Amino acid sequence: MTEELKILLIDDESDFVETTCKRLIRRGYSARTALTCAAGLIVIESGWPDIVVLDVMLPDRDGMDFLREIKGKWPTLPVIMLTGHASMQAGLHGLECGAGDYCLKPIELGELVEKIAIAHRERHQQGA
């Protein structure tokens, strides 16, 4: 079911992205990481990811601003927002800005995989 989905994890918590990346790869996904929006943008511009998992707070840029840029340039690219600040308001704001879903950190891998599968399925139903 993973169909070699390419997932880009953008988060400044290096332990989190490295561990999550390895665990996604073990489940059959292709995954890459970026610790900043600038590094993530390079990967997105290459056309590589099928899905982006994006933290709300990053050192070089606000995640919500970056989300708006992603959705402006690549409107069909699914983005799942992550927040470590248990903020329902941040999650709802992300949805308003075009995120497909949001998760509170720490997130169980099973829950993240489920959200990735849903985002992928919805993208294909839209014909992207």
The CA–CA distances, whole Å, from 23 to 17, 37, 46 equal 10, 22, 24
Give the pLDDT band (50/70/90) at residue 1. very low
Dihedral sign, CA of 48, 121, 28, 105?
positive
Residue 110 lies in a domain: yes
| 0.95 surpassed by pTM | no
Q: Left, alpha or beta for 34 (phi > 0: left; psi -120 to 50: alpha)? A: beta
Residue 12 lies in a domain: yes
Residue 11 lies in a domain: yes
pLDDT in tens, 41-86: 999 999 999 999 999 889 999 999 999 999 999 999 999 999 876 5
CATH number at residue 78: 3.40.50.2300
C-alpha to C-alpha distance for 122 and 126, rounded to whole angstroms: 6
Residue 1 lies in a domain: no
Residue 104 lies in a domain: yes
- Work out how many domains the chain is built from and give that number: 1
Q: What is the pLDDT of residue 12?
A: 94
